Structures are given as structure tokens and as C-alpha cells.
Structure 1
Amino acid sequence: MSEPIELLPIRQVRREITRRLDGYLREKIPNARQGEYENSGDGWVLDKTLKNSVWMRKPKRHDVAFEDRVWAMCARLGFNSLSLGRTLQLPYGKGDNERKQVNVLAADDEVVLVIDCKSSGGEQPRTETFKPEIEAINGYRTGLIGALRKQFPGHKIKFAFITNNIYVSKDTLAKMGAADIAYLDEEAVNYYHELADHLGPAAKFQLLGNLFHGQKIEAMDATVPAIRGKMGGYTYYSFAIEPERLLKLAYVLHRNNANMRWMPTYQRIIKRSRLKKVSEFVEDGGFFPNSLVINVDNGGRPLRFDRSEKQSGSTTLGLLHLPPKYRSVYIVDGQHRLFGYAHSSRAHSELVPVVAFVDMPGTKQLEMFMDINENQQAVPKNLRLTLKADLEWESSDKKRQAQALKLKVAQLLGEQKSSPLRGRVIIGEEKANERLCISLDAVGRGVDRGRFIGEFTSTEMRKPGSFYRGSIDTTIDPLIGFLELCFAFMRDELPSQWNKGRGEGGFVFTNAGVEAILRLLGDFIDHLSEEGKADPRQQTPNDVFVQVRSLLSHLVTYLNGLTPDEIATFRTWLGAGGPTKYLRQFQSAIVETVPNFEPEGYEEWKLNQEKQFNADSYTMLNEVETFLRQDIKRRLQDKHGSEWIHAGVPQAIFRDGSTRAAEKQYEAGPGVTVDWWDCLYLIDYQKVMQHGGNAVWLELFDRTYTLPSDRKAAWRNRSGWFNELNRTRNKVAHNEAVTEEEFGFLQTLHSHFDLGGTGRNS
């Protein structure tokens, strides 16, 4: 057991990284053996011809390629002691047969990683429980650690499973955690490679924070002189610290599947170009006077703070003891400034200013991140929606909770390995392509209009959804499970459309198609519930799907029978009205084959197709008007207090509103009070916002009420959309047909104010 572990010489690591990341196996052989290799049936082909020899290559098997990618990840992150081959045998007992084969062994000056790699070559991820492997590790752990410590004394040792194209359930993850086994998947491996592209070996701090979260960093001095005070109801500490020390403690919650198991994540991935500029700036003697913002995770316990005798006002001087543990500090703002020091010779001598909060909830960190970045680099809408799902999940406002549930369903359908839509829904800042082309917005609208969740006010449930089980936590898994089964069926029955996405001839698995399918599934559930054949609040997702499958089969038959011209017509239905046009065609196909199928709103649409947008327009108009009425008044009251009418409302507007209120009050009868503010016309609210000129507009209204398309307009024109809103309102009030363009405008406005879905199936 005292034999040394055979490791790759450090000088060969760089070349080995290149070889491991190559997708091919390559061999140099004599010219005479070329035919032997080509005729072997193993896939060897000629790569390069030399004078007396040739290079042959063949693609690596998926398991070999993945294992090599994991090895290269460790090497790129700065682990300098690495296993030599794929068949390293480590002893865990005295017997010759008491040896464990390890796929990857990686060590640095402080830790050792013992990694088992598992890969599946199937088109869809297979499910694994790893029960035998977990039990085996428990059997040989002690002996293997003893053998490793002889060569790596004083090191922390971590066992890890790293998988590719394998689905691992929450129960299995819990069992791994109980057995002290770390778990990463191919998305995490991709993340660390991407991070290594930007940070080099400094990216290792992210991996260590992941694997050794909460464990002590040996010989770590984590004390700093600090000032303690209060800000926004939270205790904070202000201090300066060397980047080298902070990097060991710090963790950045990048918006990536590698991080999203723990808490709301919000940071965008570090940009190499920006980091390079920061690093050059630091090396040239530059410095940043503005503070990093961090959150210290201390498990709800107060930080040790040795007060000095000096105190100034509400602040206290003293010596702060930061937790000397991996991932005890989360970077809320300033990741580029911190990592810009990662390769600098000044990382151990320079000081960076820090403002530290303690045990701030993840949602509050996210909110602070959003506030800090609101007026800096714009947060793209898709990322904002992803963050919003986390931010509002624990809201006390039930309407906001329901909106968070819709977005979380969309997010998980795009992320979970069990979901057919994984890799098809755009998450965070991913770039769209022909297959990755479905937005969170489209899925969220489909879930909303499919009536799966229900209608809520801020304080109560107004109407339960078909899948709603009393809370968002108990609803999400059954709903996602059902939708995954439905889309798996659609994928298998429509392979051509599935592979096309939004490419040439593709129309089903697009924003409009997916939203329409979700809304149609809601119709199916309502139909089956009325017939007593399905009860989604009680039955398992599979039991519900069994009932839905025959109805979905009719849709598949219809879609498979469409002619190229009919498909081309679907592809012309773009914009806000597209999903509704898809839905009505889908409903028509089902009605023809299922006579008792009567989806909500279908007959009305059939009788009056010209007014297909009016019902949803009416709902959205009411919600927008209610928002404007309440929000504008609140802003005026916040600024002017009890004088808000005299200071913020033109006299003519107040007089006209009061006159109309008096007339309505006379007609209302006893017990009813009519407020003059509620009697203003839409266009009056625009005049109120412009009252006081540019300065008042910029202070109170510009940030919320200027549409992105109007940002460069003169300040008076930034509320010009009121005119279009007023025209559309008048058309709806007089029962005139709303056009697709007008409907699209209302959807844009509704979405801009984050008012959620309409809750109607138009």
C-alpha cells in the first residue's frame, strides 16, 4: 500500500490537455499498416501522410471523450497532480484484489479529487440511481483515503460522480449528499471549461466552493479591520482586503445549471474581454475606489466582531473575523474587479474596498443585484424573466407567486434532463438558433392561458387552476411531469417537425406552436375533467396523460396531414396574434373528430372571427388602466404627500374629474362613494404626468413609463403611446374589432408593466 501513485509529469500537462480535448484518437503507424487499420472496421481513417509513416484517427467513444473532457477540466483549473491514464488502480486494503479503478485523480496543494465518470450515448438521457456505486464508496472510502494521504498528507479528499447525458433524480442527489459524494453533470463541466477560458486556473475557486462548501480552509487568516454600521435595515461591514484572500472565500452565483441547485442565481458569466481590460488596468497600477458588494454566509450566526474603544455616531470600529471557509462569501457586485486580480502579482499586496452584508436571503441578493445593474449594463428581458421567477417565488403576494410559478415551469422545462424541451427553451442569456428558439415568455403565456395554475389576487385565490394543489411548491412537480409527458409524445410522433425547430418548414416547436399546444392541453384537461375522466389535482401526471393522449393523437394526425402550402400559411402567422391563430386551427381539427369537445371561447370565435382579439384586449386594457390609475396616484402622493392634488394635478383635470364624479355619485345611490381620480380619462393621466415639465417626468415617471422603443424620443413624446392606448380602448368600448397590430401593442404594454398573463383563453 506504500507504492506511489503514478501521475503525469507536470511538464507534459499542457500537451496532454490538447490531446484530451481532441475529439479523435490518433495513432502514428508505419505506412505498411495503413490498410490494416482502414479495414479493421473500427472507424480508422487517414489523417496525415509522412515520409515513412502515417497518422490515423477515429472518433473517441462518448465515454472516453467525456472522461477526457473531465480530466482536461481539472488540468485547466490548475490541479497539477493528475492521473496518468484511464485505468489508475488505487489500493484500499492489503489484498491484491482490494483496488479501486479511478477514472480521474486530480490534486493540488490542498485538495484531492477522486472522480468516477459515467456517460450515456443514447439520444435521450437515461435515468441512474447509482445505488451500487454509492454503497461501494462507503465500503472502500476509509482505506482509499488512507492510501491517498500517504502521498498527499494534510489534503482534503473528495469523491465525485460526474455524468454525461444522464438524469439523476432529487432522491438520488440527496443520497449522494448523505454519502458525502459530490455530483456534477456535463453542463457543470462545460461551465468550468468556459470559466477557465476567462479566468484560467483562478476558476478553480468556483469549483472548490462548489465541492467543499462550508468546509474550513486550513491556515487561512480571515480577520480584517472593519467598520460596522446599518444600511437598509441590514447590518453591514466596510473593510479592505487582499484579493488573494478574498478569492479563496468567494463564490459567484453565475446564472448556470452548475449553480442553480442551491439558491437563486443572478450573475452573468464573466466576460473575457472585460476581464482582460481589468487585468491590464490593474497590472498598469490602476485601482478601483468603488467597493465590492458581498454577502457573508454564516449560517444565521452573528460574525465575530472584536470592538475597539472608538465609535463614531452609529458606526463601530473593530476587528472582523470572516468565516475561513470555502464559499462563505457571495459576490453580489464586482466579480470582474475581483477576478481581475487573479493573475496579478499585486493580488497579495493590494487592497480592495468591500461592503459586506451578512446572511442576506438569496432573493434579497438578487434584488440588490438588479437594483445595482438597473442603470448600468442592461439586463436582457429573457434573463430578467429567469431572475423574476426566483425573486418572486417566496413573495407574500399570491398573484406574484403564481407568475413566478409560470416562469419557473417554463425555466425547468428548458433545463431539466427529464424534459423533452431541454435545449429548446432559451434560458438566461443563451443565444437563439433554429432549435433553441422558444422563449420563456411564450411558455409562460401558454401555461397561464392553459388555466393550469388559476387566477389570483394579491391576497387570495380567485379561481383554482386545473393542476393547482394549494401551493406553488406542491403544484410545480405534477404540472411539469404532465407537460414533459405530453411534449415527449409530440416529439416522438412528429420527428420531422421536432428536428426542424423554426428552420425551413418548421412551425410546431416554435414560440407560437408551443404556446398554442399548451393552451390546447388546457382545453383537453377542462374537457376531460367535465366528463369525470381526469382529476389533475389528485391523479399522478402519468394517469392524467393517459387520458389526454388520445386527444393529442388527433392533433398529431392533423399536423402530419398538412400540405406544404398549409404549413407555409402557419409560418406567416407571426407577432402577438400568431399563437391564437394556431390555437383556433388546432381546436378546429379536434372539434371535427371529437364532437363533444367544446373549448372555451371557440364557438364565439367561430361566429365572429373578426373580433378574435377583443376578449383578451378587454382584459388587458382593464389591467393596464387599473395599474396606471393606482401607480400614478401613488407616485404623486409619495412626492407631494397631502398636497399631491394641488402640486401634481392640473386644475382643469381636477375640475373635469370632479364634475364627472358628482354626476356618477348622484346616480350611484346610497353607500357608494365615487372618487374623482377614478373618473379621469386615459388621456388625462398622460397630462398629469407631463404637468410640471421635464424635471418631474424624469424624476417620477421616465424609468417606468418610457417604452424601450421611445428611449431616444423627446421627453413629451415618451408617453405618446397613451394616444394609441386611448384609441384601442375606444374601439373595445364600442365593440369594434381590435386588429392584430393593436392587440400586439396591448401585449407589449402589458408585458412592459409586468402585469402577468390575462388568465383568459382568447
Structure 2
Amino acid sequence: MAFLSADQILELTNKMSADPSLLGKIYKSKKKTYLERTVDHNLVEGLRSDGWEEYGTPLKTKTKIRKPKSHFDQFEDDLWCQLYDLGFRHLNIDRNFNLPYGKLDKEKKQIDIVAVNSDTVLLIECKSSEKPKKAPSFKTEFEALGQRLNGHKKAVSELFGSDKKTKFILATRNFRLSRESIDVKRLEEKNGFFYNDNTFDYVDRLIRSYKSAAQYQFLGMIFKGQSINSEKISVPAIEGKMGKKTYYMFSLEPRLLLKLGFVLHRTQANESEMPTYQRLLVPARLKGIGKFIDSGGYFPNSVILNFNELKRQKISFEASARGTHSNSRAGVLKIPNAYAIAYIIDGQHRVYGYSQSDFKDTNTIPVVAFKNLASSEQLEMFMDINQNQKAVSPTLRITLEEDLYWEAPRLDSRLKALRSSIVSALGGDQAGPLYGKIALGEDKSLLSAKPFADALLRCGLIPEAKGNRFVGQEKNSSLYNTDSLDHAVEMKSARNKTVAFLNACYEYAEEFFNDDEQTLNTFIVYNRGTYAFISLIGSLNKHLTQINEVDVNTPVEIRLDAHSKYLRALFEALAEINQEDKDHLLGKLGSGAEITWFKMFQNFVNHRFEEYEPADLLDWRERLDQELQSEGRALANAIERHLKKVVIGNLKVIYGKNWDIEIGAIQRECEKRAKEQMERSYKEGLGRNEIEWTDMFGVSDYKKIIEKYWGKTPASPPAHFKTFEQHFAFDIGEGSNSKAEKLKWLSYFGSYRNTLAHEGTREKGLNLHEVEFLRNISGRIELSDKQPLAS
């Protein structure tokens, strides 16, 4: 007995279309962000109140009007267009597609998108929010889903044929709904698929990278592990052993590999498969491979696969007798004909290059296949294969560190993995404010992973280590219990605490800037602001730990409460920031930008709360103190003049008119510098300016001469002559037993002199301690001129 009546079939069929021309027109309309109409001139005024506006050139009797689509309609249209781009050419053309699941009139459910191809039918329900927010409960809806789907499948069978697989998809936009949530678990138990923002973005990138070949990866993701048909694929193969792993060597047609294969791209859309590792394809390279194949080219090297066996999808090998000269054996390998059963570890360009090739059905590709390798083993194999090929991107490398080093024997490597894991969790937690905003693996997004990783390295929320020892832990202000001996437990605990705390801080920022998203996105949810904000949180946490308001075990709610007044001070300062400070922050580029932002964030908080005055903030202020810099520059100039006077004077006394020949190598280098400076001045329009080579001495030159002629005296020393040792041997508290210790001050002086040479660069000055060092050296030089030091 038929499930649908003839009238129902006709009604629903009329709401679908496979007409290429009509679908193309609908596609163009849905790609636009506006609804568009053409109406009589006299109707325009009445439609303005409903949000319509005029656009384009008026026609003779008609006016073109448009209005922005609602976010609900926009999401449905975006997803409809995505399926069209994937190659679906049988789609609904009416939003009111009410599909029966029972015999009663009320037993119908509106399906937002219906997409059909030769093998599958997708039934898609769309849920969206204008702004990111926590998803509502779908408990009631999903509990009845199983019964509805049974009825829907009967209807689909009569509408589109019984040979097609049906998949129900819940697609969401701007809903924070974790894949670990009860609702998603209910959906997956009913064999539904959860299509969130990550999935949409990933498929969008698949389409851009893989073009028409994207459908294979898409179907593998949607129907992973499900049979294409019940007939197994039988191929001649050789079974062998490598280490403790069994592998198979065989050849297979590309059309089969395209359906069986799946690439574990490092993207949040594949988060359930973690660890994942692959990069997306390069479109130009894919196109070039296709042309190479069609022109008769071929690849003699093997594609590397891993068969991911499931309970009902297992490979089997029927062996013939083993040969007498080898442990390998020939036979027949039987492969389940199922979507995404074979993970492509290496060779995805070669496989997908065949997607549009004339040889897709006739060529065979050599394959080496393992089975049931853990994702971590696949990752290690991928890294080994690719270490001498194209470099892994910095973002992918940061993301992979979690899987590479989580169980490493060295503490510093495990902490690297912990930082990676925290960044991934911040960007991948669908209940968190940074969900989908951090570029992870191959995903592109608003925020880069690097400033998060850099800040976590230095901010103190995670401890620092060298080898197997923690460093800089006078009082542990991190969220990692450094006294714990159970590394596995503490790693997870520290990750969970850090992610929860940072999410809470970002949520606090969201709440404060609820009506001022521009400021939030200009200073906090912004790449240059990321390092500063997380570093400030770490600095505040250290301050609060030192005054015993929080410790490593403080719950996140109490920790946030302790931080809130300081964070609020920052937010209020940013909301009222003056134009000079704003221009200074936003105009700051290069490697120094992140430090400038961090120090200014600290400064904003300190202006409100004087008790928060960390040493690094004082240091930064001192380096901006122009009076201090002027004093330091004057002292450095005086010390350098004294060095030149004493060094050249002593050499002339010891070697007479041959003094310059004695230091010939240094003279030649100084003459070269002098000529180069003369050339620069000339090219800058300053004319010819003669420069004495002795004016080009650097502190390192003085140091070389002093070291070489340390105790040298002339044959007949004049009265009051002092050696370089007598002039320059100073004890600065780092020992005075050796020449190197006595001249250590020159190394510090050279460093400070170089810093002061960058006179026009802010934040590159000296702090008070460094200027006091120059005062001390200046005083010692004067003292040594009056009273010779013992040699």
C-alpha cells in the first residue's frame, strides 16, 4: 500500500526541480543578500515602512526595490547554494516543503532544504540566531525524531526512488551547541548529522579548494562508515609486515578511492576525529594534476591509506600460499564498499586530481594500506612523510603540538602540548565566546592562533619549564599544580581550568561591551589585542595570588570575581580612550606591537588601582622616561669618549707611529664603515662629508683591543702610565678573578649603547637600573683616572 497519495506526490514534486536553467536562476537570487522586487511606482511609498528601498535606475512604469533578507532566510539560502555548489541538481524551490511522516494530516514536518543526487537524499532543518548565543533545548523535537524519520524515509522512497540513502541534517548558525551535548547525542543516535558553523565554513573551503571534487569529501563526512552498497570490492593484493603493522599493496581505480577515501583535515568540522592533521588542497595544484593526468602523465608512487574498520565494515584478506623466499603473501583483499572507510594519509592531490579526469574509471592507482592505525600514528606517519616537503603552516603546527607532545617524556614539551590544547579548546568550545573565532589547523577565522599561544607561553597561567624542570616559580601563580606528580591528570585539569577562566573573562568583556561591539572588536576580540588581554589576565592572576586572594585551586567563579574590578577598569578605559592613545595602539605595527598593547592595558588598570604595579610595568615606564634616557645617553657618550681617548692614547704610547698598523684589521673595518657612511650621506643629498676612520670605532672594537693588550706596557713607560687592566678592570658584582669577569661591564655597556642608538624608537630605552649602571661606570672611570688600580 502506498504511503503517499497521488495528490501528495504531485504537490511535493512541484516544489522540487531538476531544471538546470531554473535552478541557476534561483541560485543567483539566493546568493544575493537582498530580497528584490519590481513594483509599480505608486506602491513604493507604502512599502518603505516594511524595510524596502529603491535601487538601480527606475523603469518606465516600475521601480526596483529591495530589502535585506532576515538572518533566517539568509542562512537557508546560503546552505541551499552550498549544496548547489557541491553538485546537487535536484533541489526544493519552495520553502514550504511539508513532508509527511504519517497518514494523518497533522503528521507532516516542514523541511527547509531538500537536496537529491543520484545516490542520496538530504533532509535539512535550519535553526539560526542573529547573534551568537546558547542554543535552546531540542529535547522534545529529537526524542520524536526516530519515529518521524521512519515515515520520512517511506515518503522519500516514493518521491525519489528506493535506491537512495536518506540523511536528516540539523544545520545551525550562531548557536553555541557542543557536539558532546545531550541534544546532539540524541540526533546522532537517530543517525542524524549535526551541521554547525564549523561544518558550513569547512564545506565552503572544500568547495573553493576541491571544486567539483568536494562532493566526495562532503559525502564521506555525512555518511561516514555507511555502506554505498552491500557488494564488497575484491582486489588482488600482497600482505606484508612492517614493524608490528600489517599492510596491503594493491591497485584501485580512482572512482572507487574517491568514494572510499576521506582526508582528516585539521579543522573543527572533524573535531570528533581528533587528532587530525591534513592540509586542504591547493586548487591550482589540483587543476594542474588533472591536466597532467589527461595529457598521459602518471604517478608511480603509492597513495598511503589507513582502513578505519567499524563493527559492520571490516576488510578481509583471502591468502594464497606463502612463497619460499619472502614472508609476504599474495591473495585477494576484500574491502567494504562504504563511505570514508579509507583515510588518505598521503596522496590526496593525486586521488582528487582524478575527480574530473577522463581516466577516472580506467586508470589504477598504486596503494599501500594499513588498518586501524590510531589517529596519533597516522599523524606521526604524515609528519615523517612531509618533513622534507612543503612546510607545515604555523597555525597547523600550533594545533598539531597537542597531539605530538601530550605524552612526551619532557616537561617543556608537554607544556607546549598543553598550550596547544588550550587554544584548540577555546576556539572549538561551542559553548564558549571564542567558538569559531580562532583559526585552528586548516580553518581560517577572525583571530590567529599565534597570539594565544604566545601569550600562554609568557603570561603565567601556564608555568614555564626547561627540560624536566619548572622555571621562575617563586610562588606558583599558574593554574597548573606544579607539585602534582600525576602529569596526565594535571594536564587535563590545568587545561579545563584555564579554558573555563579565559572563557569567563571573554564573556565578561562581551557583557560589558554588549552595546559597543566596535570597541570590543577593536581592542579585545582582535589579533593585536589578544596577546595583551590574555597577558593582562595572567599578570592580574599573579598579583592576586601574591596577595593571597586566589590560588591554584580557586573555582572559576570566585577567580573571575576577584579579577572583575581590574578587568572593568580596563574596559572602561578602552570605552573612553583618547584619540592619542587609540592612534598609538592601532598604529603600532611589527613585533613590538603586542608588548605596547599589553603595557598600555596594564597602565589603564594601574591608574585605577595603584596596588597593581607589577615590576614589568615600572620597567616599561622607565624606558619611556625621556629625562632618564637623556641622562643615560649623556653618560654613554662620555664613557665612549673616554674609551676612545684611553685606547688610542695607550696604543700610541706603546707603538708610536706604527700604532694603527698594529690594529690593522680593525682599522680596515673602520675605514670600510667610514666609506659606507660617506656614501649614505652623499646619496641622501648631504654632500661629501669626510669621516675619520677612528670615529667609526664601536664598543666591540674597544673591547677587542683592551683584551689583546690587557697588561701591555711600553719599553720605557712614562710617568703615571696605566695599562688597560689598570684603567678598565672593574668588579660589577659578577666576580673579578679573570679578565673576562673584570671586563664584563663592557658587554653590558655595549648592549646599552646599542639600545640608546635607536633614539627615535619609543620603548627601546634604558630603565633606571641600567642608567644607574652607567652612573657607576662613569664614576669608576673618573676614580681610575685619579688613582691607578693595582694590576
What's the TM-score, normalizing by structure 1? Answer: 0.72
Superposed, 1:317-466 pairs within 5 Å as 317-421=330-434, 425-428=438-441, 436=446, 438-456=447-465, 466=478
Q: Distance between the aligned counterparts of 2:211 and 2:524, measured in 1? A: 42
C-alpha separation in 1, matches of 2:539 and 2:560: 13
Equivalent residue, structure 2, for 1:94: 103
1:484 to partner: Cα distance: 1.9
1:98-117 superposed matches below 5 A: 98-117=107-126
Name the counterpart of 2:661: none
The answer to whether structure 1 residue 209 and structure 2 residue 220 are counterparts is yes
- Tell me which residue corresponds to 2:4: 2
Query: Whole-Å Cα distance in 1 between the matches of residues 526 and 452 of structure 2?
Result: 10
In structure 2, runs of 5+ residues without a counterpart are: 482-488, 626-739, 756-791
How many Å apart are 1:120 and its aligned residue?
0.8
Q: CA deviation at 1:368?
A: 2.4
Following superposition of structure 1 onto structure 2, how do residues 500-515 of structure 1 map, counting pairs within 5 Å? 513-515=529-531
Aligned to 2:565: 550
The aligned counterpart of 1:19 is: 29
Q: Is the 8 A contact 2:286 2:352 kept in 1?
A: yes
Question: Which residue does the alignment assign to 2:773?
Answer: none
Q: 2:715 matched to which residue of 1?
A: none
Q: Is contact 2:224–2:339 with CA below 8 Å preserved after alignment? A: yes
Q: 2:750, 2:429 → 1: CA distance? A: 42
Identity %: 30
Q: Give the AA of the match of 1:308.
A: S
AA partner of residue 54 (structure 2): V
Does residue 128 (structure 1) correspond to residue 136 (structure 2)? The answer is yes
Cα offsets for 1:20-40 (capped at 9, x unmatched): 2222223344x3555256435
Compared CA separation, residues 61 and 245, structure 1 to 2 (3 A) = same
Q: What is the letter of the counterpart of residue 221 of structure 2?
A: N
CA distance in 2, matches of 1:603, 1:52: 72
2:397 is aligned with what amino acid?
R
Using a 3 Å threshold, how does the CA distance of structure 1 residues 106 and 606 change in structure 2: closer, same or farther? closer
Q: Which range is displaced more, 85-94 or 528-537?
A: 528-537
SS at match of 2:349: helix
Decide whether aligned partners of structure 1 residues 213 and 741 sit closer, same or farther in structure 2, where only a CA change above 3 A counts: farther
* Counterpart for residue 693 of structure 1: none
Pick closer, same or farther for the CA change 1:68–1:560 going to 2, 3 Å.
closer
Give CA-to-partner distance per residue, 1:612-651, whole Å, 9 cap, x none.
xxxxxxxxxxxxxxxxxxxxxxxxxxxxxxxxxxxxxxxx
Q: Residue in 1 aligned with 2:266?
A: 255
Q: 1:695-727: per-residue Cα shift (whole Å, max 9, x none)? A: xxxxxxxxxxxxxxxxxxxxxxxxxxxxxxxx9
SS in 2 for 1:471: helix
For 1:149, which of 157, 160, 164 is the aligned residue? 157
Output one character per residue of 1:254-303: Cα deviation in whole Å (capped at 9) or x when no partner.
23332233222222222222222112222222222121112111259984
Query: Residue in 2 aligned with 1:749?
Result: none
Unaligned runs of 5+ in 1: 611-726, 743-762
Counterpart amino acid of residue 339 in structure 1: Y
The residue that corresponds to 1:643 in the other structure is: none
- Find the aligned partners of 1:578 and 1:198 in 2 and give their Cα distance: 34
The one of 532, 535, 557 equivalent to 1:516 is 532
- Change in Cα spacing, 1:95 to 1:365, as seen in structure 2 (3 Å) is same
Is the CA contact (8 Å cut-off) linking 1:88 and 1:102 kept in structure 2?
yes
Contact 1:529 1:535 in 2 (8 A): yes
Maintained 8 Å contact 1:129/1:168: no
Q: Is 1:75 the equivalent of 2:84?
A: yes
In the alignment, the residues of structure 1 paired with residue 336 and residue 490 of structure 2 have an alpha-carbon distance, to the nearest angstrom, of 36
Q: In the alignment, which residue of structure 2 is the partner of 1:692? A: none
Given that residues 410 and 443 in structure 1 are in contact (C-alpha distance below 8 angstroms), is that contact kept between their aligned partners in structure 2?
yes
Instruction: Give deviations 1:146-193, integer Å, cap 9, x for gaps.
Output: 322333314322211001111103323333323332101233223323
1:118-143 alpha-carbon deviations (Å, 9 max, x no partner): 11112x33433322321231342322
The aligned residue for residue 467 of structure 1 is 479
The residue correspondences of 1:210-359 to structure 2 (distance < 5 A) are 210-231=221-242, 233-299=244-310, 303-311=315-323, 312-359=325-372
The offset of 1:202, in angstroms, is: 3.2
Deviation at 1:328, TM superposition (A): 0.9
Contact 1:507–1:567 under 8 Å retained in 2: no
Q: In structure 2, how many angstroms separate the alpha carbons of the residues matched to 1:74 and 1:177?
A: 21
Is it true that 1:480 corresponds to 2:499 in the alignment? yes
> Relative to 1, partners in 2 of residues 1:298 and 1:429: Cα closer, same or farther, differing over 3 Å?
closer
Partner Cα separation in structure 2 for residue 99 and residue 285 of structure 1 = 54
Q: Distance in 2 between matches of 1:572 and 1:314?
A: 67
CA change 1:510–1:139 in 2 (3 A) is closer
Native 8 Å contact 2:41 2:63 kept in 1: no
Which of these two proteins has the greater Rg computed from alpha carbons? 2
TM-score (norm 2): 0.70
- Corresponding residue of 1:751: none
Name the structure 2 match of 1:721: none
Secondary structure of 1:289's aligned partner: coil
Kindly indicate whether the alpha-carbon contact (under 8 Å) linking 1:48 and 1:56 is maintained by their aligned counterparts in 2: no
Deviations 1:383-424 (A, max 9, x none): 222222333234454432221121232234345454444565
Q: Which moved more, 1:326-335 or 1:131-140?
A: 131-140
- Going from structure 1 to structure 2, the CA distance change for 1:293 and 1:46 (only over 3 Å counts) comes to same
Q: How does 1:669-688 map to 2 (within 5 A)?
A: none
User: Counterpart amino acid of 2:252?
Assistant: I
- Which secondary structure does the structure 1 equivalent of 2:162 belong to? coil
Amino acid at match of 2:198: E
Is the contact made by 1:297 and 1:358 (CA closer than 8 Å) also made in structure 2? yes
What do residues 451-475 of structure 1 show as CA deviations (whole Å, max 9, x unaligned)? 2233456668786663236432233
C-alpha distance in 2 between matches for 1:37 and 1:279: 56
Residue 549 of structure 1 aligns to a residue in which SS? helix
Distance 1:394 1:78, change over 3 A: farther
Secondary structure at the aligned position of 2:250 is classed as strand
Give how far 1:212 is off: 1.8
Q: Which residue of 1 aligns with 2:666?
A: none
Which digits, 9 at most, give the CA deviation of each residue in 1:511-538, with x for residues without a partner?
Answer: 5543233232123223334555434535
In 1, the alpha carbon distance for the partners of 2:621 and 2:201 equals 50
The C-alpha deviation readout for 1:227-248, integer Å capped at 9, x for no partner, is 2223355322211100111111
Determine helix, strand or coil for the equivalent of 1:259.
Answer: helix
Question: What letter corresponds to residue 475 of structure 1 in structure 2?
Answer: A
Task: Give 1:147's aligned amino acid.
Answer: A
Mapped to 1, the partners of 2:164 and 2:390 lie a distance apart of 42
Please tell me the residue identity of whatever aligns with 1:168. L
Look up the match of 2:145: 137
Task: Check if 1:191 corresponds to 2:197.
Answer: no
Structure 2: how far apart are the matches of 1:93 and 1:203?
35
How well do the aligned residues superpose, as a CA RMSD in angstroms?
3.6
Report the Cα distance in structure 2 between the residues aligned to 1:314 and 1:224, rounded to whole angstroms: 20
Query: How far apart are 1:592 and its partner, in Å?
Result: 5.0
TM-aligned CA deviation for residue 542 of structure 1: 3.0
